[in-house]
A and B are shown apart, each in its own frame.
Chain A
Amino acid sequence: MDLTILILQGVIVAATPLLFAAIGELVVERAGVLNLGVEGMMIIGAVAGFSVTLETGSHMMGILAAMLGGMVFACLFGFLTQVLMSNQVATGLSLTIFGLGIAALWGQAYSGMTTEPLAKLDIPGLTSIPIIGPLLLSHDILVYMSIGLTIGVGWFLSKTRPGLILRAVGENHDAAHAIGYNVVGVRMLAIMFGGACAGLGGAYLSMVQTPLWVENMTAGRGWIALAIVVFAAWKPNRALLGAYLFGGVTVLQLHAQGFGVKIDAQYLSMLPYLVTIGVLVVISRDKTKANLNAPACLAKSFYASS
């Protein structure tokens, strides 16, 4: 197979976990909630997906478990921040630490075990079309889900009434409450959605990208996803761009080293961050416009009585 296509396939694999987690967090933040526990929810998804796949032999069950695991874990965050009104930043950080710990505990029983990687799509006649086949029609189901999810979330937020309500809750929770919307309910749903997405992102790592389970295997991807949301100015299509840009430059610099490009590895390692920052500067050079995008109620607790 042509090396260019192999490289692009590698880019898709590196970008997909980031895209899942970023899209989920984007919806959460659009609802006015800042959940810094993405890393924790991802690692829960990673261990849940891996262990259930191993136990049941079914990747579908693993994917479901990862979503469910991330969602349940996110509910914990939702309960603490929406019902008990704890500080979102502190709660999110502890969620990450708690998640890494509990995933390590859960995963101990699965230490050193392996599963088959998730199967790739194979459409007779179509997957074998040159270039288009291997590039577009030969991935695992999760890749298509992540793209579909991006389009779906974009449509939901901008074209549907529930999407409008969710944004209203994020922009001004007092006004949304005053006209009768259930602010806490909407936010809980958003948080659960975000948890499920982060879980999928983690599962992609443990079921496709590596595919194995080791403690701490998310290695900071949750934080990258959080940064991508800001990079994306809370817009789903830009989150896609951000995830593919970051994943793409990461993989390209690895290949560049393999080809013996005469640039020191440290600089190449910096590239994904530098490129992302560079693009961010370019697309947000209009300051007022950029500021308008941030949900006005982001990270603020909502008190129904006030």
Chain B
Amino acid sequence: MSGILKKIMTSLAALALVLSVGVASAAEKTKVGFIYVGPIGDHGWSYEHDQGRLAIEKAFGDNVETTYVENVSEGPDAERVIQQLARAGTDIIFTTSFGYMNPTLKVAKRYPDVKFEHATGFKQAPNVATYSARFYEGRHVIGLIAGSMTKTNTIGYIASFPIPEVVRGINAAYLAAKSVNPDVKMKVIWVSTWFDPGKEADAAKALIDQGADILMQHTDSPAAMKIAEDQGIYAFGQASNMHTFGPNAQLTAIIDNWGPYYVSRVKAVMDGTWSSGDTWDGIGAGMVGISDFSDKIPADVRKLAGDARDALAAGKLHAFTGPINKQDGSAWLVAGETANDGDLAGMNFYVEGVEGSLPQ
């Protein structure tokens, strides 16, 4: 078999060369590059980033040229693709998944004139800005709905990887659910992937089999929504509106709205005013959207969730307001204290009451 292996390696190398060609050059236009972790047709995370790319094209028309590379896995491959985009004369590159953080910084060092924007990360450089959305605000809203509506007092949560962004979501949803239903339990299953519809569906079924009657997910495909629809339970859309996959099942969806941010950053590059920084916007700034509430939600719950959404947007409510203990019982926030952004950005613990152990 070693001969075969060798052939595979050479073939792969040839393939990599073929795949890396493709970014054409044109003068005078601002060139914008994107790399996505999934396919743009995932109906979730990558789809919404691509909507943001289209918003750039719409805003600047012939003055920009955008390219994207989809299905780039988080690892050595990402570095190669980012480098390829940088070498092709791209002015600003958006790397849209957490796992691209180190590859982005590495390439950025080699190409100081190219601007980089890394989504959901926490490391900046003079030419690397980071941006993310306060999805946990959306999680607070759906947590209130789920806690009020569950009949089995069990919420199922399909999680991807134990990074702060995902952990924040679990904690925010749990705290909100708990605040309206002291008996609520949250079952979390980690599938160790952002996108694998089959595995996401298996996890959804496992959660339902174990008594969950409302599902939340932090993965990118609508598979769990479809399973919820077929089994007659409720779920929440993730990243994108998944209503078509669960017309009865979807109670509401947390929608990522990247367009305005992307347009403003490309504008800054054009004007020469771009600078590194860290942007973290929520419902108030429109980066996190909450889709229309389903009429399956009782009127009082709809009001509760709507009020919370408006209060979050106005900055009158924070999803992490004390008293909150960590899972091990140690104090985190005292009564009335709200979490600071540093704690949120690096969150690596469950709050008290969440079951199971957080993978470290």
Chain B residues with CB under 8 Å of A97's CB are 15
Distance, CA A219 to CA B190, complexed state (A) = 17
Given contacts A93-B15, A114-B226, contact A10 B4 (CB under 8 A): no
Given contacts A260-B356, A299-B4, contact A214 B39 (CB under 8 A): yes
Chain A residues with CB under 8 Å of B190's CB are 257, 265-266, 268-269
Chain B 233-285 residues near chain A, CB threshold 8 A: 244-245
Chain B residues with CB under 8 Å of A114's CB are 226, 229, 244-245
Shortest Cβ distance from residue B242 to the other chain A in the assembled complex, whole angstroms: 9
Q: Are B7 and A112 touching (Cβ within 8 A)? A: no
A293 interface residue (CB < 8 Å to B):
no
Chain B residues with CB under 8 Å of A61's CB are none
- Indicate with 1 or 0, residue by residue over B36-66, a CB within 8 angstroms of chain A CB atoms: 0011111100000000000000000000000
Shortest Cβ distance from residue A15 to the other chain B in the assembled complex, whole angstroms: 11
Shortest Cβ distance from residue B246 to the other chain A in the assembled complex, whole angstroms: 9
Q: Are A258 and B201 touching (Cβ within 8 A)? A: no
B357 interface residue (CB < 8 Å to A):
yes
B187 interface residue (CB < 8 Å to A):
yes
Q: Are B43 and A254 touching (Cβ within 8 A)? A: no
Shortest Cβ-Cβ A-B pairs, 6 listed: A265-B190, A215-B39, A269-B192, A219-B196, A215-B41, A264-B359
B306 interface residue (CB < 8 Å to A):
no
Chain A residues with CB under 8 Å of B229's CB are 114
Shortest Cβ distance from residue B184 to the other chain A in the assembled complex, whole angstroms: 15
- Indicate with 1 or 0, residue by residue over A4-46, a CB within 8 angstroms of chain B CB atoms: 0011001001100100000000000000001010000000000
On chain A, the number of residues with a Cβ less than 8 Å from chain B's Cβ atoms is: 52
- Indicate with 1 or 0, residue by residue over B1-36, a CB within 8 angstroms of chain A CB atoms: 100100110011011000000000000000000000
Which of A156-164, A185-193, A205-213 contacts its partner?
A205-213
Q: Are B359 and A265 touching (Cβ within 8 A)? A: yes
A250 interface residue (CB < 8 Å to B):
yes
Q: Are B39 and A257 touching (Cβ within 8 A)? A: no
Shortest Cβ distance from residue A195 to the other chain B in the assembled complex, whole angstroms: 20
Question: Per a CB cutoff under 8 Å, which of B187, B223, B359 touches A258?
Answer: B187
Chain A residues with CB under 8 Å of B200's CB are 210
Which of A70-78, A103-111, A175-183, A237-245 contacts its partner?
A103-111
B353 interface residue (CB < 8 Å to A):
no
A90 interface residue (CB < 8 Å to B):
yes
Given contacts A93-B12, A221-B198, A258-B206, contact A212 B359 (CB under 8 A): no
Question: Per a CB cutoff under 8 Å, which of A104, A218, A258 touches B210?
Answer: A258
B286 interface residue (CB < 8 Å to A):
no
Chain B residues with CB under 8 Å of A219's CB are 193, 195-199
- Indicate with 1 or 0, residue by residue over A215-234, a CB within 8 angstroms of chain B CB atoms: 11111110000000000000
B308 interface residue (CB < 8 Å to A):
no
A-B CB contact pairs (8 Å), 24 listed: A3-B210, A89-B7, A90-B7, A90-B14, A107-B41, A112-B245, A113-B244, A209-B201, A209-B202, A210-B200, A210-B227, A211-B226, A212-B197, A214-B197, A216-B38, A217-B197, A219-B197, A221-B198, A254-B202, A254-B206, A258-B207, A262-B356, A265-B189, A265-B192
B203 interface residue (CB < 8 Å to A):
yes
Shortest Cβ distance from residue B41 to the other chain A in the assembled complex, whole angstroms: 4
Residue ID in chain B nearest A216 by CB atoms: B39
A58 interface residue (CB < 8 Å to B):
no
Distance, CA A175 to CA B210, complexed state (A) = 58
Q: Are B202 and A10 touching (Cβ within 8 A)? A: yes
Q: Are A10 and B197 touching (Cβ within 8 A)? A: no
Q: Are A3 and B209 touching (Cβ within 8 A)? A: yes
Apart from A216-B39, A254-B202, list 4 A-B contacts with CB within 8 A.
Answer: A89-B7, A111-B43, A262-B357, A265-B162
Distance, CA A262 to CA B355, complexed state (A) = 10
B188 interface residue (CB < 8 Å to A):
yes
A87 interface residue (CB < 8 Å to B):
yes
Q: Are A251 and B197 touching (Cβ within 8 A)? A: no
Q: Are B198 and A255 touching (Cβ within 8 A)? A: no
Chain A residues with CB under 8 Å of B11's CB are 87, 89-90, 93
A133 interface residue (CB < 8 Å to B):
no
Shortest Cβ distance from residue B86 to the other chain A in the assembled complex, whole angstroms: 24
Distance, CA A44 to CA B15, complexed state (A) = 21
Residue ID in chain B nearest A87 by CB atoms: B7
B121 interface residue (CB < 8 Å to A):
no
Given contacts A112-B245, A254-B206, A259-B210, contact A210 B226 (CB under 8 A): yes
Residue ID in chain A nearest B1 by CB atoms: A294
B340 interface residue (CB < 8 Å to A):
no
Chain A residues with CB under 8 Å of B41's CB are 104, 107-108, 111, 214-215
Q: Are B223 and A212 touching (Cβ within 8 A)? A: yes
Residue ID in chain B nearest A91 by CB atoms: B11
